[in-house]
Amino acid sequence: KHGKNRLCFFSQEVLDDSERSSELILRLQESVEHGCAGFTLLYQPQVRAQTGELHGVEALLRWNCPEFPGIGPAEFIPVLENCGLIRRVGKWAMHEAVLQAHRLQQVFPGLSMSVNVSYKQLVDLDGGVEENLLDFVRRELEAFPLGDGRLIIELTESCVIDRLEETAQLMERFHQLGVGVAVDDFGTGYTALGILKQMPVDVVKVDRSFVQSQNRSEFDEVFLKFISLLCHQVGAEVCQEGVEDEDEYRLVLAAQADYIQGFWFGRPMTVGQLIERFEKKQ
């Protein structure tokens, strides 16, 4: 049917996959239509490396759908991105995170809130960089002020590098609103040190692959120290992701990271759990 002597194979697995993904798209659309019903945010603590005190949290998206139990953002976010739903869900998440940060700051003064922003939320249909999100964030912060640098947007390294100059300009405007900028998953794919030169980066989040004890090499240890040194020289702070045990914690301390986010200090949790866990310690 395809012509030109092309041959293609049918497999039940592929059919199951495509059935699953069209079902997934439908359910996600339904959720979004209902005001992002079923979406929630969990908050993972980011602690000061030296003292273990709570410094901030990262908002991480969850989606509760009976048809897809236990599905994680690694699976549903690319789908949201591909079918153009990420902007609406992204705005919902931004609103929710700012609101909760505003409340949490009454318990933890000065707490920072990091929100993941997908590349597709920054790019408009013509492929240029848009400012809709900027205006949205400005209005949110007028309604729920958080203080300078307390709201941080996290962009992945690969997202930034694709359009470094335009992204840098837009991030400059976020900066003018008092919003901080973090580069996520640093050290994966591209080692784009130029980002540090051209963008107003406040926080570098070093990818967790550099601390995982199983197959860590001497290179990883040197890399961690080097990144800290470089970041501190250019006025950025370092947050190490994925610290899971004491050995990894020691390594990160030796490498002079400023903040730590990882299961060793807390998994993503609800606001109630966060307060219960950290309130007394403050």
Distances (CA, A) of 255 to 144, 227, 238: 36, 9, 10
Q: Which is nearer to ligand C2E, 78 or 194 (CB)?
A: 78
Q: How far is the CB of 229 from Ca ion (least distance, A)?
A: 21
Binding mask 204-223 for ligand C2E (x = CB under 6 A): ----x---------------
* C-alpha distances out from residue 37 to 16, 64, 268, Å: 26, 9, 20
| Dihedral sign for Cα atoms in the order 237, 239, 240, 246 | positive
The binder of ligand C2E chosen from 31, 112, 118, 228 (CB under 6 A): 118
Q: Which residue, among 169, 151, 71, 154, has the nearest Cα to 111 in the 3D structure? A: 151
Distance CA 69, CA 63 (A): 9
**Could you say which residues in the range 138-167 bind ligand C2E, by CB under 6 A?**
none
Rounded Cα–Cα distance for residues 84 and 25 (Å): 11
Distance linking the first and last C-alpha atoms of the chain: 68
Residue 242 binds to ligand C2E (criterion: CB under 6 A): yes
State which of residues 184, 202, 237, 258 lies at the interface with Ca ion (CB under 5 A).
Answer: 184
Stretch of residues binding Ca ion (CB under 5 A), selected from 38-46, 182-190, 230-238, 250-258: 182-190
Rounded to a whole number of angstroms, the minimum distance from the CB of residue 72 to ligand C2E is 4
Which residues contact Ca ion by CB under 5 A? 116, 154, 184-185, 241
Which residues contact ligand C2E by CB under 6 A? 44, 60-61, 72-74, 77, 93, 116, 118, 184-185, 208, 242-244, 261-263, 268
